[in-house]
Each structure stands twice: as structure tokens, then as C-alpha cells.
Structure 1
Amino acid sequence: MSIMSALKISRRPATGFVVVGMFWGCFAAYVPEIKAQLGASDALFGMLLLGSATGLVSAMWLAPKMDRSLGNRSMQVAACLLAFAWLWPGLVTLPVLFFAVMCGVGMASGLLDVIMNARVSELEASHSRSLMNANHAMFSLSYAVAALITGAAREAGLPPVMVLAGFGVLTLLALPILRMEVAVVEEPETGRGRYPLWPILICGAIVLVAFMSEATVEAWSALHVERTLGGGAAEGALGPAMLGLTMMIGRFSGQVVAERLREVTVIYWAALMASAGALIASVAPTPLIAYVGFGVLGLGVSVIGPMGLALVGRMVPPHLRTEAISRAAVIGFSGFFWAPSLMGFVSEGFGLRVAFACVAVMLLIAIPLAIVMNRMEKDKIAASVA
């Protein structure tokens, strides 16, 4: 099968996606409890999550240097840093300390994100096939399973630090798999050409739209179900879990679709589907209808980000691949942190229903960006033939 062979080829970076997914899935399910522990309003909590964005910006500069210096151990070191960083969000009760802790989480998560995506792009180049969707599907699967486990843990009264520490132990056990040889690419002495800024910016913007939408549901779906629709803790945790499960299905399906259809076509229909899902979630009268909305959104948004990262890896020279993916990934992954913050301000002023409706509008921005990127790729092909 296409999916199984893709995962076999990329099993080492896929393990990195599993590590990142399980921590964020756990955090998403614990958001109502952590928010209450801090005594923060929607707007304040959203602003505190900007600490993650601050850490992520530093990852944009550190990841390529770390990758060059550590080589085949770079994913291992980044995973250890991430496990350590996640010990603290459930322990602090002061908002200022939570902001500082989330800075560390954002930096560690960004480092591992950039490096593992670069490893997948290297494997795509060496095996001449699409692998990105299958790897991102492993993030979604891990995210959903972790959210479900955390929902049960919350019902049992377990504190966040205990569950996050448990996932940290699993990360340490996975370290041997995360060691991976790095492809050595010599920088050409001549014919370097211009720096590929526009492909990085446009692909980064596509990924940004996708991940901002994803992050909104991750961070606020549990609160939407529990506060707006009157659900319990387990029902709230099912919100992010539904997103993760449907994104897993969408990305595994996208792995097959990516080998048959052009990216711009898939992104076009995926953006429309995801936008419809966000609208359903915004007007849902019951948790069940909200789950349907989260599921439709997950199916659509699942393939947009991975295809954006795959595009930038293909559009730049090989010696710039890690750096280009680092730049595009940080632009995109910043959506995981900016979106919850913006969502907090919108929710504070207008409610979570309006905030989810804004997500529906934002998703449509991916369509013109994909069309522009498609035109640039055609120009590149025409120039290489000429």
C-alpha cells in the first residue's frame, strides 16, 4: 500500500511527528483546566499563548544551525528539549510564568517541527515520491489518541503534569528511532541564482492559513463544547480528538491523492470543505453538531499544510532545503500560536461562535495563494526546459 510504504520509508521523522502530536493533544484537552488554574479571561489566556509564538520565532534561526551542528542526533536533542519543556505548563499558576514557560514550549516544538519536516523533504527528494501527508497524519493520529487519553485522565482527576510527564517518558523511549542520517548536499560554487524568497513566503502563507485554523480548534474546541454548548470534561476533550481523528483520515487519504492530483486542485477543494466545517461548528446547537463541524474542518484542512511544505521543498535548490523549510515552517507554525491569541480577543468581544465563523472566512485565503504558487511552479518548469 502507498501509505504503509511511505511510513516505512519515513519511519524516523514520522516518530517525531508522533512525539509532537501527543504533547499538543494532551495540552488541548487540558486547556479548560489550565485556563481556570491561571484565573485568566479569554483575552488574557489568548495573549499568554503568544509566549509560544515568541519561542517559535527563535526556532526559525536556531533550527538550521542546530541541524548542521548535531547532524543525525538533531531530532533526538529537540525531542528531549520538548519533553522537558512540557513538564511546566501544568505546574505554574501565575500568568507571567505561564507566558515564559510557553516560550520554552514554542521554541522546543518549533525546533523539532522544522528538523523533522526537513528530514521528510530530504526523503521525498531521494525517493522521488510524496511523503509529507503520511507523516503529518501520524501527528494527527497521535494528537487524537493523546486527547482521548487525557480526557479519561481528567475524568479520573489526574493533574496535567502527571499526564505530560507520562508522555515525556514515552518520548525518551522513542529516542533511538529518532536518530537519522542527514543527506549531505554540497552548495554549488556557481550559478546560485537569486534567493527563493517568494516561494518561501507564499508556501509559508498557505501553511499559516491551515495551521491557524487547526490551532483554533485545538485550543478552543474543548472550551466551546463545555462553555457554549454545556458539555462535560470528556465531551470537551472529544472536540480536539475529533479534529485529530479526521485530520488523520484526511492526511492518509491525502497521501494517496497527492500522488495522483496536482496540489492546487487539492488545496482548492480542501479549503472549501474546511471553511464549511468551521461554519457548522460556529452555529452548532449541540456538541454532536459541533463534532460534525470539527470533523469536516479536519478532513479539509488536513492536507493544506503538508502540501504547502512539500511545495517549498521542491521549489528551492537542494542546498537551501532545510533553511527554506525552516522559514516556511516557522511562518506556518506561528499560526498555532497566533490563532489561539486572536481567537481569545474575538471570543472576549463577540463569543466563540463568531470566532469560529472568522476561521471559515480565513480558510478561503488559501485558494488564491495556491493559484499563485501553481503559476510560479509552472514558470520554474518552463525555465528549466528552456
Structure 2
Amino acid sequence: MNEISASPLSDGRAPIVTRERVAVALMFLMNGFLVGAWAPKIPEFASRLSLSESALGLMILTFGLGSITLMPVAGMQIARFGSTWVTRVAAVMALPTLLLLSLVNSVWTAAIAIFLFGGLIGAMDVAMNANAVATEKHMRRSIMSSCHAFWSLGGLIGAATGGLLIAWVGVLGHAAFATVFAAAAVVIGWPLLLTDKPHPEEAKQKVRLPMTPLPWLLGLMALFSMVPEGAVLDWGALYLRNELGASVQLSGFAYAAFSLTMAVMRFAGDIVRDRLGAVRTLRICTATAILGLFIAGFAPNATVVIIGFAIAGIGISNMVPIAFSAAGNLPGMAQGIGLSVVTTMGYSGILVAPSAIGFIAERVGLAVVFASLPLLLIVVLLLSGLARHADGNGAGGH
């Protein structure tokens, strides 16, 4: 196991910044960056393959299917080899996927490439979350929210630079730049990652789904926390444009306001959680998210909706990181088992929710959808006591 970069504090906790924390944050940044870099490539990808909107929708669904397929596989390998090696292997395997997506020229090769891209991004996601849990335990302080903040920051950098690079050096040149940037993060983080112990005796449990209800309830919490995120991402701008008559420019602020407050609060989340404990932090976050979504759903104009989304972003920011921390700290269960269940259920919310919301919105309108989303968060509030497992790293009040 790597040594922490400075001597422990008087209360037994590690300093706020250690080698291991920097390393796992770099892995989150790299993963988010690859996802963000993919977003501006989608229009060219669709035109190169002559994809209709529905065919492109199926391709994006294939990305999700790849994630859902390989996430449980990553959980098995974490039990067998430890999160460190699975994070490293998945990261290295994910590096060439953007180049692959830039080179494919048939629907079938594109489907295979996007399945691998989604699968390896998802597998790395499970592994790096497991490594973040191990690092939390080692440091005896919360770091999960800031790790997710670095993922958001990576996504922002990838998306913001993608369009400019594509215009400047072309699709393949952009993919090469993005691959080199991502590879640099992996090279720097590789030797600094905390080395956790594998649990080969628990790998056999992976073949069977866990029988205890705890990981499934935490998965439900993650799912219901991520459905509103997917709703704002995919339907926020359309809600402003179609139902409140906002301009294209103003509509763009729907997700921007949400993602900005979410990223900022994720950087602050660990400090709050260490002070208040995971349960109280989750309850405050969930109540804030409920308020924001109610404001957005009942808003008389676009400006009020944007304010509502910004408040919802503050709340939702730290709900998923707490659920993931709890999943990795379940008593008598290897990190990979709990995390593979919770991450797969959670991310399926972002993958499945958009189409379901579209079906409902056609009948009742998006205002009703956003006003109804707090019902899911009330379930999270009722289950919030399970967040006590997130304090298993020795951090936070109870």
C-alpha cells in the first residue's frame, strides 16, 4: 500500500491532499474528459454514417448497453484483483476508443466501437469509485464528492475544447489530442494510486447477485437521484424553449446553471459531509433538490426555471457520491459487489429516463414532469438513513 504523502494529523486522519487522492482525482478527470470529448463528435459521427435521429438514438443506447454490461464484470474483477489494477487496465483500454470512433465507417463497426467505449468507461467508473472508497478509508476523510467534481470538470474541459479542436485540426486530430491528454492523466496517476487488497474469495459471490437488500436499496437511491439529472440534461432546454417560449440562447442556460452549481457544490461536499455526517448531508441535499425541482416545475417564466435548476443542482450534487460511498462500505461485502450494483442501477437512470420522460411529456407536458420528479426524491429522503454506511471511512459526524 502506498504511503500517504504526509504524516497523519493528530486525530488519525491523513492531510487533505495526498498522493492517493490526487491520483484517483486524475482518473475521474480523465474519465469525465473522454465522455465530454465525445459529445461534440456526435454530429460528425452521425453524418459520416448517415444515421437518422432514431438510428443515432439506438447508437447512444448501445453506449449505455456497453456500460451496463461491463460494469458488473468490473465488479467481479475488483474482488479478484483489487480496484487499483482494474482502474489501470480499464483506463488504458479506454484510451484508444475515441480514435476508434473517429475511424469507423460502417454501422456495425460503429456499434461495436460505441459499445466498447461505453463499456470501458463504465468499467473504469466502477473501479475508480471503488478506489475512491478505499482511499477514503485509508485517509479517514471524505473525498468522494470532490472526485465526482473532477469528473464534472473533466467533462466540461472535454466538451468545451472539443468543438474548437475539431474546427482547428479536424475530427481525427481532435481524437489524437484528446487521447494524448487522457494518456497523460493516466501516466501521472498510475504509480500514485492507492493499492488496495484483492478479495479473491469474494469473487465467487459475483456470479450470483447479492441477496441482501442493502445494495439494491442504495441502487434505488442512486437511480432516483440520477433520473432528475438526466431529465435536466436531455429535456431542460426543450422545456424552456417549447413551453415557456425562451430563446435558443436562454434555453442553453438550463443545463449550464444546473451543472455549474453541481460542480461547485461537489468540491465543497466533502467538507460538509465531514462536518455533518453523510445522513444529515444527504437529507439537506435531497430537500434542496426537491425545492429546486418544484420551483422549476411551477415556474411562470424561463428565468425562474433556471433559478430552480440551479437550486436543484446544489442539492443533487452530493446525493450520488454519498450513495456510492455507502455502497463501497457495506458490512461483510466486497467494495466491487455493492458498487457494481449501485453504479449500474444509478447510471441506468440517466440512460433509461430520457426516453421514458419523452413518452410521458408527449401526454402531460414537461412542466408536469419536472413538478413530479420530487416524488422520486421523497423516496431517497425515506431511505436516507442508509447513508450512515458512507461514514464507514472513519470520517464525519454521526
Shift of the alpha carbon at 1:122?
Answer: 0.8
Shift of the alpha carbon at 1:211?
Answer: 2.1
Alpha-carbon distance in 1 for matches of 2:62, 2:372? 23
1:329-370 per-position Cα deviation (integer Å, ceiling 9, x unaligned): 222222221222323333444444444334333233211121
- Does structure 1 residue 260 correspond to structure 2 residue 275? yes
1:56 corresponds to which letter in structure 2? Answer: S
Which of the residues 136, 142, 161 maps onto 2:154? 142
Shift of the alpha carbon at 1:258?
Answer: 0.7
1:137-177 per-position Cα deviation (integer Å, ceiling 9, x unaligned): 111222334444457679x6997776555433311121213
Alpha-carbon distance in 2 for matches of 1:225, 1:164? 33
Alpha-carbon distance in 1 for matches of 2:365, 2:61? 20
- Does structure 1 residue 345 correspond to structure 2 residue 359? yes
Alpha-carbon distance in 1 for matches of 2:295, 2:303? 11
Q: Is the 8 A contact 1:87 1:165 kept in 2?
A: yes
Structure-2 residue corresponding to 1:321: 335
Shift of the alpha carbon at 1:374?
Answer: 5.7
- Does structure 1 residue 369 correspond to structure 2 residue 383? yes
Alpha-carbon distance in 2 for matches of 1:160, 1:359? 38
Shift of the alpha carbon at 1:291?
Answer: 3.2
Q: Identity over the aligned pairs, expressed in percent?
A: 25
Alignment of 1:23-172 (within 5 A): 23-27=34-38, 38-40=51-53, 49-67=60-78, 68-69=80-81, 72-87=84-99, 101-150=113-162, 163=174, 166-172=177-183
Residue segments in structure 1 that go unaligned for 5+ positions in a row: 379-386
Shift of the alpha carbon at 1:71?
Answer: 6.7
Structure-2 residue corresponding to 1:214: 229
Secondary structure of residue in 1 paired with 2:96 = helix
Q: Is the 8 A contact 2:329 2:390 kept in 1?
A: no
Structure-1 residue corresponding to 2:188: 177
Shift of the alpha carbon at 1:304?
Answer: 0.5
Alpha-carbon distance in 2 for matches of 1:95, 1:280? 43
Which of the residues 359, 377, 384 maps onto 2:373? 359
Residue segments in structure 2 that go unaligned for 5+ positions in a row: 1-12, 392-398
Alpha-carbon distance in 2 for matches of 1:165, 1:80? 15
Structure-1 residue corresponding to 2:4: none
Secondary structure of residue in 2 paired with 1:5 = coil
1:180-237 per-position Cα deviation (integer Å, ceiling 9, x unaligned): 3521256789xx9xx67222111121111222222332334455556665544x6665
1:265 corresponds to which letter in structure 2? Answer: R
Q: Is the 8 A contact 1:79 1:112 kept in 2?
A: yes
1:87-135 per-position Cα deviation (integer Å, ceiling 9, x unaligned): 5667889988776554333211211110100101111122222111111
1:40-74 per-position Cα deviation (integer Å, ceiling 9, x unaligned): 26xx7666543233212222332134444587443
Q: Is the 8 A contact 2:84 2:196 kept in 1?
A: no
Structure-2 residue corresponding to 1:292: 307
1:323 corresponds to which letter in structure 2? Answer: I
Q: Is the 8 A contact 1:45 1:341 kept in 2?
A: no
- Does structure 1 residue 330 correspond to structure 2 residue 344? yes
Alpha-carbon distance in 2 for matches of 1:111, 1:15? 16
Structure-2 residue corresponding to 1:22: 33
Shift of the alpha carbon at 1:377?
Answer: 9.3
Q: Is the 8 A contact 1:270 1:301 kept in 2?
A: yes
Larger deviation: 100-109 or 263-272? 100-109
Change (3 A) 1:246 1:306: same
- The structure with higher relative contact order (CA 8 Å, sep 6+) is 1
1:295-321 per-position Cα deviation (integer Å, ceiling 9, x unaligned): 21211001111111111222233x712
Q: Is the 8 A contact 1:277 1:360 kept in 2?
A: no
Alpha-carbon distance in 2 for matches of 1:349, 1:157? 43
1:170 corresponds to which letter in structure 2? Answer: F
Secondary structure of residue in 2 paired with 1:314 = coil
Superposition TM-score, scaled by structure 1 size = 0.77
Superposition TM-score, scaled by structure 2 size = 0.75
2:225 corresponds to which letter in structure 1? Answer: A
Shift of the alpha carbon at 1:3?
Answer: 12
Q: Is the 8 A contact 2:131 2:194 kept in 1?
A: no
* Alignment root-mean-square deviation, CA: 4.1
Alignment of 1:206-245 (within 5 A): 206-224=221-239, 229-232=245-248, 238-245=253-260
1:366 corresponds to which letter in structure 2? Answer: V
Secondary structure of residue in 2 paired with 1:130 = coil
